Structure 1
């Protein structure tokens, strides 16, 4: 057939195979490829002969193995679109007992036997990335927003971390804070974090909660042997230290509602010289007074 590998070619009949060239009126495989089953296959690529110094490598596809001189997909991979695709991953065949799972990519779903990105995410570099999050395409009405991450901005249609932040596990984390790279050998973004192997990790007495290191046994942290020894007003609930009834967590401590330093109660606070700050809804000292040992004192009479 004219234009096919081994067929005739000329000014009007070009070679149909992208790896073939017209030479002396015939379509022949270009250097680095060979005719196999009527098509030019690149050496070292899926379906081609093995390459390398000992002709036992498949440099064109990292998921292919050399078998009897030919490049074939490894176990757990399938030949799709001229490449070896992992089962259960984006672009690969569905996996699992019922061949209906895409367990390699949490943002992929099985559709007609193939793993495709869920609605609201897009394929980027072989993985499904949520739109509007770092590493994903921009979202919003004008397609120029990054609604999923307040520390990301849209550039050339992609969400990237702002200065001072880097992507980690799909979100932008601040340098020197939990989950981010250390700044020198320190973690100034979190007083409970320490630099370990170049990354900021929680110290042995704290745990990562909502992006911050929280002391174990304290409000908002995990319980210690079923108790919350760091705060007498905290109680262990479902493995977490929560402020007890009538108290709220303010500044990492459980403080009594309606009292100095605590949350206002219906816009009011108890105690002499204590008022409710309408802006913060916290109980603070009245003007002309200052807090001392849990009580408000007239700053003229304290000394």
Structure 2
């Protein structure tokens, strides 16, 4: 009996249980969002790498956020689009575990990167004269490497605990990707240890980072209120408020998913919340964090004008 339980070859992702017409509509809509995600984050990476004026700590962190967002989308969205065209398409056990590992790695890393970026903004606004000393390139590289390392190691712990579990039928995952809580529901063994580790990890990568981010932005707000220039105060407040909106969406939906009582959030509602991670947040981050900045818009304008005779003709430069 135990041998039959552990010989799981594949899972079936049920995806969104909707009618064929609605699924085709979602396929077109999500494909468009996916394209915007890849295009927006790809443009950010290209502009940062090509323009030496963007080789600063802030854009160094933004480039890694763009990498995480692209990886997020590529890990979950293609499988979701395939399932919309071909519902109940199976995924191998190894593929499912790989998808879970990658999703958790990128989720943890993004949480920590958002904390790093809030610290960078705090130093830039509250200690501008000491910014280059405090946020040196050595510090930047250390913070980014630490974020990626912690993200991967935490994901490795979760997947290792899943692999020790036996699985028995049915092998249907009621989700559009191999989300860890949905996978654990299929295990025919005690999963309390897994859930305790998930809760502890959520405190480490969600609650504590969110508190640090909020403290940073509270100090930023106080510093902004002391700025004498109205234009400088407006610019600093606009940047910080947009960042805080993204942080609120990201951490808020994550805390609801992994720390709130599950009985209050039906599975279909959970799928919608997870769309924020895999699709909406990666698509919005370039617009909020990067493409609104004057330096990025100037670099993009110069790149377009350099390549486009029509742009030069109409004096876009």
TM-score range, shorter chain: under 0.3
- Greater helix share, 1 or 2? 2
Q: Please identify the structure whose Cα radius of gyration is greater.
A: 1
> Whose relative contact order is higher, 1 or 2, with alpha carbons under 8 Å and at least 6 apart?
2
TM superposition score normalised by structure 1? 0.21
- Greater strand share, 1 or 2? 1
TM superposition score normalised by structure 2? 0.21
